[in-house]
Each structure stands twice: as C-alpha cells, then as structure tokens.
C-alpha cells in the first residue's frame, strides 16, 4: 500500500478543512435547544459517506436522533468491517474556561502536539476519530485498494446513552452482519507509545433525592431540630467509601473479576510516570482504593463517584435556610462480570436502607451498560496490532481503559462480533472538558493506519 502517505500528504489540507466544517456544527445531543444542529450533522455525515464512496447511504430515523448507515459491498465472499462512531458531542460548558469558542475550531501547537492540534468540542470525541474512518475509506476507494466490504453506523446519541441504537441493532441484525467491528472512540498511551484498548468499564448512572421537611425552613427557627437533607445526603455519600476507599455497598464486589498476579505484572509494564501524571493535573498526590496502582484504579477496578450535587441556596451572599430537598448524580464504573442492572439494584437497596428517620430517599436509575474485554489472540487484534506496527514502527501495547462505550458489549451480544478499539486520542486531549483537542498528527496517523487494518484483516482471514 505504497501510495497511502502520498495520498495523505496531497489531501491533508482538505482532510483538515472537512473536519473543521463538521466541528462547526454544535451537535449537542443532551440539549434539546440544539436539535436542528444535531440533525444537520447527521445530514453532513451522510453526504461525507457518499462522497467517500459508499454505494448506499441512508438516514435511519429513530425516536431520538437518526443513525447514519452506509455501505460498500464489493464481494459478499470477502470479510466485512463494520465501523461505528458517534456524531453527537458533550455540552461545552463551562464556556468561560475555553481559550477559543468550542464550535469555532482553531489549530494551535501544544507541548504534546508540536505539529498542532484542532481545538473544538468533538475534535477527539468523536467527530475527529470517526471522520478518520471516512477519509480512510475515501483513500482506499480512490487508490483502488479497498480489500473487503465496509459498513458504517454513525449514531447521534452516544453521549446520552445510545438507547435508540440498541433498538436499531436488535432490529437490523442481518443488515449489520459483519466479521469485525472497528471503533475509534478511545485513546492511546502516547504518540510514541501506541496502544490498543482491550477493555472498557461498564456504567451505572443514578440520581438520588433526599427529602426532609415539606418546605424550606428558617435555619435558625428550625435548625438543630429537624433533619437537614443536605447534611444527611453528604453523610450518606461519605459512608459509601471506607477508610481504604473500598465501596461499602453490600455485594458490590461479589462478581468483580480479580486479575492474576501475572496479569497485574504485565499491566505494570506499560510506561507510566506518576510524577508526570500528578504534574499534569496539579495534584500533590493520587488518591484511591488501597492495594492498587493508579493504572489499576482507573481500569480494572470499579468506582463510585458523585458527578454533581445540589440543593439549598447557592446564589449571591447568604440566605439562612434549611432546604427541603438535596440531590446528587452518582456514577459507578464497573468491570467485567459486574452486571449494571444488578449493581443499580444493590445501590438502590443500600442507599435507601442507610437513610435515617426524618428523611425519605429516592433513587432514580438513568442509564448504564456492561463492561467489555476483548482477547488479544484473535485475527482482529492481530491485524490491528500489525497495522499499528506498520505505521508507528512499534508494536502497540494492549491496555484496558477506564471509560465506557456501553453499546460495545451489546454489539457482541446481538451481532456476535468482537470489537477492535483503535483509538488515536490522548488522555490529555481533554474530552468532555473545556479546550478539547485532537492532534493533527494523530488525525492523519489514524487515516494512515486504518487502511492497513483492512488489508491485514482481509489477508489473515484468507489464510
Ligand atoms: N468516547 C467516550 C468513551 C471513552 C473515552 C472510552 C476514552 C475510553 C477512552 C464516550 O463518548 C463516552 O464519553 N462515554 C461515556 C458513557 C456514555 C454512556 C455517556 C463515559 O465514559 O462517560
Ligand atoms: Mn465517544
Ligand atoms: Mn464522550
């Protein structure tokens, strides 16, 4: 595949311009005020797939945002790669922490991206990474080296739980039939330390509400004599971890898969600098479950975190009040074998049971999904590993990630196929944060690496 670097060099500016145009549309799936923009992004993805050489592209309407499906079937006897990605993005707030507006992409150099990075919401998660696949497809078609069949499925509700995609997948098993699913929606260790993600954590996301008195009260007249829902909520939350930072919900760890000493030793070989990690976050020390390293804590161990907490008076100045209600949003990141619905139930039962008399507690599940681990002795992994080795000049390290893409385990369940998580972002690219960015080098490296995956996967399937 000699002409890949040439083709990329020749079309580099256009590849960047097209991505920048896509990043200008604020496709925020969580906020109904942007629904027109989300729909327009779906249309833009459809056009992009047609231009890249898909023979059939359709927009599938759902109860939420549409799914864009595209395909190019060259020979039904050849393998089929199904590419998944998402065109929706996270809300950009807090806006004042952005150095440039989130939907006006700019290219700026950074320490880790000396060749420049595109700053915009969705640059890395996931428009930039999804678009690498569209451009890789264009490259393979235009240079007459597409070796197998391709299907694309790009959704607009990943950041809000993929509920409608789950229905679409269950109803379209035949249409989506494939030999391997390929996703770029994760990261790698560093630009000179390529890695392939072999695991994702599951997720259970809940909201809790603590209600005390039937109305807000004067904190002098009533203070000390009735339960204050905010005091109670914070106490209940604090009790969810013990002094070793183990989670106290009974049964929470029952199904957690413990890694062997050998597996943990293998994991510990991945390059990692604690000093650099702390410096990047401006923290003096890391914090977490006793007995586990930082890399273990954020990948092979489950967690429980408050994502938001509110109630009472938070405006200017002081108001003396005992609020009637207090709220929190809590996420639990899960590891393989933990079932998210079971964990949600365990949490609910426990949280309700620790509420003192004088308050009532309501736990409302939001969404969730199972974790995922993929073996490395498959053709899919081997092809991906060889593709990285070809373009990075180094064998990639298998690595389990702490993030979640709940739909991946569902793909395996419904379609019976494994997923290869070929991510080109860096943890420091600030996804979901202000100043999200994606390295220009990473974007082009992705476009370069993907065609080799197709080639090796097709070859390995033959022989
Ligand atoms: N692409 C991310 C997940 C991710 C990022 C996995 C980096 C591994 C490395 C995805 O868009 C995401 O944000 N997922 C959510 C869950 C979803 C149900 C909202 C997450 O992990 O919080
Ligand atoms: Mn994503
Ligand atoms: Mn995301």
Q: What is the pLDDT of residues 16-37, one digit of tens each?
A: 999 999 999 999 999 999 999 9
Using the predicted structure, report yes or no on whether residue 1 has a pLDDT greater than 90.
Answer: no
Whether 187 lines ligand 1, by a CB cut-off of 6 Å, is yes
Output the residue whose Cα is nearest ligand 1's atom 13. 159
Using the predicted structure, report yes or no on whether residue 122 has a pLDDT greater than 80.
Answer: yes
Output the residue whose Cα is nearest ligand 1's atom 9. 186
Residue-averaged pLDDT of the chain: 97
Dist. CA 97 → ligand 2 center (Å): 21
- The residue whose CB lies within 8 Å of the most ligand 1 atoms, and thus the one to mutate among 124, 185, 186, 419, is 185
Using the predicted structure, report yes or no on whether residue 256 has a pLDDT greater than 70.
Answer: yes
Residues 6+ apart with CB under 8 A from 121: 23, 26, 28, 89, 90, 92, 102, 103, 436
Hey, is 352 helix, strand or coil? helix
Dist. CA 159 → ligand 2 center (Å): 7
Whether 125 lines ligand 1, by a CB cut-off of 6 Å, is yes
From the CA of 90, the nearest ligand is 3
CATH of domain 202-256+302-369: 3.30.70.360
Q: Where are the domains of the chain?
A: 4-200+371-462, 202-256+302-369
pLDDT value at position 463?
A: 76
Taking the C-alpha atoms of residue 396 and residue 264, their distance in angstroms, rounded to an integer, is 18
From the CA of 425, the nearest ligand is 1
Q: What atom in ligand 1 is closest to the CA of residue 406?
A: 18
Architecture of the domain defined by 4-200+371-462: 3-Layer(aba) Sandwich (3.40)
Signed CA dihedral, 122, 128, 133, 135: sign only: positive
Output the residue whose Cα is nearest ligand 1's atom 1. 185
95, with CB counted inside 10 A (0-12, 13-18, 19+), is exposed
Whether 148 lines ligand 1, by a CB cut-off of 6 Å, is no
Q: What atom in ligand 1 is closest to the CA of residue 425?
A: 7
Dist. CA 88 → ligand 2 center (Å): 9
Which tens digit of pLDDT belongs to each residue from 208-247? 999 999 999 999 999 999 999 999 999 999 999 999 999 9
- Are the beta carbons of 38 and 27 closer than 8 angstroms? yes
Using the predicted structure, report yes or no on whether residue 12 has a pLDDT greater than 90.
Answer: yes
Which tens digit of pLDDT belongs to each residue from 430-461? 999 999 999 999 999 999 999 999 999 999 99
Dist. CA 185 → ligand 2 center (Å): 5
Which tens digit of pLDDT belongs to each residue from 264-319? 998 899 899 999 999 999 999 999 999 999 999 999 999 999 999 999 999 999 99
From the CA of 86, the nearest ligand is 2
| 70 bridge partner residues | 57, 152
Using the predicted structure, report yes or no on whether residue 2 has a pLDDT greater than 70.
Answer: no
Q: What atom in ligand 1 is closest to the CA of residue 86?
A: 11
Dist. CA 445 → ligand 2 center (Å): 19
Whether 161 lines ligand 1, by a CB cut-off of 6 Å, is yes
Whether 403 lines ligand 1, by a CB cut-off of 6 Å, is yes
Signed CA dihedral, 217, 220, 222, 224: sign only: positive
Taking the C-alpha atoms of residue 15 and residue 445, their distance in angstroms, rounded to an integer, is 12
Region 404-427: what's the mean pLDDT? 96
Where do we find the tokens 């990141």?
333
Per-residue HEC secondary structure of 240-274 comes to CECCCCCECCCCCCCCCCCCCHHHHHHHHCCCCCH
Residue 3 is classified by DSSP as: T
pTM for the whole structure = 0.94
Whether 85 lines ligand 1, by a CB cut-off of 6 Å, is no
Which tens digit of pLDDT belongs to each residue from 324-383? 999 999 999 999 899 999 999 999 999 999 999 999 999 999 989 999 999 999 999 999
Using the predicted structure, report yes or no on whether residue 119 has a pLDDT greater than 80.
Answer: yes
From the CA of 85, the nearest ligand is 2
pLDDT value at position 61?
A: 98
- Are the beta carbons of 201 and 93 closer than 8 angstroms? no
pLDDT value at position 401?
A: 96
pLDDT value at position 164?
A: 96
Whether 185 lines ligand 1, by a CB cut-off of 6 Å, is yes
């Amino acid at each position: 595949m000699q002409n890949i670097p040439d083709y990329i060099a020749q079309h580099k500016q256009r590849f960047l311009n097209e991505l920048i145009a896509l990043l200008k549309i604020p496709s925020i799936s969580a906020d109904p005020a942007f629904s027109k923009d989300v729909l327009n992004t779906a249309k833009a993805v459809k056009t992009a797939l047609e231009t890249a050489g898909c023979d059939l592209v359709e927009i599938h309407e759902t109860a939420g945002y549409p799914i864009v499906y595209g395909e190019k079937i060259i020979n039904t006897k050849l393998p089929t790669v199904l590419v998944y990605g998402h065109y929706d993005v996270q809300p950009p707030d807090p806006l004042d922490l952005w150095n440039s507006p989130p939907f006006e992409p700019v290219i700026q150099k950074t320490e880790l991206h000396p060749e420049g990075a595109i700053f915009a919401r969705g640059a890395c998660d996931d428009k930039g990474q999804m678009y690498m696949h569209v451009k890789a497809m264009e490259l393979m078609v235009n240079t007459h080296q597409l070796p197998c069949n391709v299907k694309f499925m790009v959704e607009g509700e990943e950041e809000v739980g993929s509920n409608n995609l789950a229905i679409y997948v269950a109803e379209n098993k035949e249409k989506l039939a494939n030999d391997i699913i390929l996703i770029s929606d994760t990261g790698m260790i560093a630009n000179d330390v390529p890695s392939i993600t072999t695991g994702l954590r599951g997720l259970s996301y809940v909201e809790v509400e603590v209600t005390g008195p039937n109305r807000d009260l004067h904190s002098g007249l009533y203070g000390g004599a009735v339960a204050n829902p905010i005091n109670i909520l914070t106490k209940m939350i604090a009790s969810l971890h013990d002094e070793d930072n183990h989670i106290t919900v009974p049964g929470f760890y029952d199904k957690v898969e413990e890694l062997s000493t050998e597996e943990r030793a293998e994991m510990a070989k991945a390059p990692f600098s604690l000093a650099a990690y702390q410096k990047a976050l401006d923290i003096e020390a890391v914090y977490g479950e006793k007995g586990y390293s930082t890399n273990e804590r954020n990948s092979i161990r489950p967690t429980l975190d408050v994502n938001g907490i509110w109630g009472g008076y938070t405006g200017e100045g002081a108001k003396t009040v005992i609020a009637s209600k207090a709220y929190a949003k809590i996420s639990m990141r899960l590891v393989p074998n933990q079932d998210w619905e079971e964990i949600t139930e365990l949490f609910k039962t426990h949280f309700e049971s620790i509420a003192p008399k004088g308050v009532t507690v309501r736990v409302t599940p939001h969404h969730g999904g199972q974790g995922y681990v993929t073996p490395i002795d498959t053709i899919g992994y081997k092809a991906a590993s060889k593709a990285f080795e070809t373009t990075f000049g180094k064998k990639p390290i298998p690595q389990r990630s702490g993030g979640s893409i709940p739909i991946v385990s569902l793909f395996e369940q419904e379609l019976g196929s494994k997923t290869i998580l070929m991510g080109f972002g860096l943890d420091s690219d600030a996804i979901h944060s202000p100043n999200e960015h994606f390295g220009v080098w990473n974007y082009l490296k992705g476009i370069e690496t993907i065609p080799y995956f197709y080639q090796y996967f097709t070859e390995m399937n033959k022989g």
